[in-house]
Amino acid sequence: MPDIKNPKKFEREGYKIYSNLAPILSQAKLSSQIINFKEYFLDCINQETPSEKRSLVKLIRMHFDNAKENIQDEDIEEYMRLRNESEKWLKSVGYRYGTRTAQEHNLSLGIVEEKYMKEPYKPTGLISGHIILEEARKSRELEKFFGSIAIRKFYNVDDKNKRILFNLEDLDEGGNTLMDPRLIDEDFNFIEGYKKSENFPFRRS
C-alpha cells in the first residue's frame, strides 16, 4: 500500500501552512471546532501519523470549514487562502474527495444523490468525473478503511466493546469494488464469522 514518499517534506510543508494559521487562530473565538481543527491539523503534519489517520474530507470539510465561523471577519480572506493551500498539500500526496461508493456511504448511514445510487459500487468521484480511476485507487489505499458505529447493524455485530471498521476494497478496471466491504479490526486484520443483514445496502450475496 502506498505511503507518503517524503514524510519530512510533507511535515515541513504542512507546518509552514500551520505556522501562518497560528496568528489567525490566536485571534479566533475559542470553541470546540477550533480545538478539534488544531488537533487534527497537528496530527496531519506529524510524519509519524499513519496515512489512514489523515483525510482530505475530514481536514477541510469537517474541521477547516466548521472552524471558519469562529474566525474574525478581517482574517477570513487569509484563512480561506490557507484552506486552499491545505487542500493542495493533501492532494499532492494523493488524497481525494469522492472516493467512497454509495454502498459505503449507506453502510455508515450517509446519504448520496440518486445518480450515485445507480452505480452503488463505484466511487462517487468517478461517477461525477472529477477524479480518475488511479486517483481513486491511490486515495483509497492511503485511507485504507471506513468506519461508523452504524455498520454494526449491517453485520449483525452485538459486541459493543469491539471496535470494527470496514475495508476499502480494491477497484476493478471499471471502477467498481471487487466485493462487498469486509470487516476489519484496528490492525487491518479481517474479521470472520459475521453475517450480513438482510437490509445490507446493495448486498451482492
The model's pLDDT over 127-157, given as tens digits with 9 standing for 90+, comes to: 999 999 999 999 999 999 987 777 888 888 8
Domain check: are 138 and 108 in the same one? yes
Amino acid identity for residue 165 in this structure: L
Does 189 map to a domain?
Answer: no
pLDDT at residue 3, as a whole number: 54
Look up the domain containing 167 and give its range.
102-184
Does 37 map to a domain?
Answer: yes
Does 196 map to a domain?
Answer: no
Does 200 map to a domain?
Answer: no
Does 19 map to a domain?
Answer: yes
pLDDT more than 70, % of the chain: 96
| Domain end point (choices 35, 68, 91) | 91
Express each pLDDT in 31-68 by its tens digit. Answer: 999 999 999 999 999 989 999 999 999 999 999 999 99
Work out the average pLDDT over 74-100: 97
| Domain end point (choices 56, 91, 126) | 91
Does 192 map to a domain?
Answer: no
The burial of 93, by beta-carbon neighbours within 10 Å (0-12 exposed, 13-18 middle, 19 or more buried), is given as buried
pTM: 0.89
| Domain end point (choices 91, 126, 152) | 91
Does 84 map to a domain?
Answer: yes
Rounded (to 5) percent helix, strand, coil in the chain: 50, 5, 45
Does 203 map to a domain?
Answer: no
Structural domain tally of the chain? 2
pLDDT at residue 185, as a whole number: 84
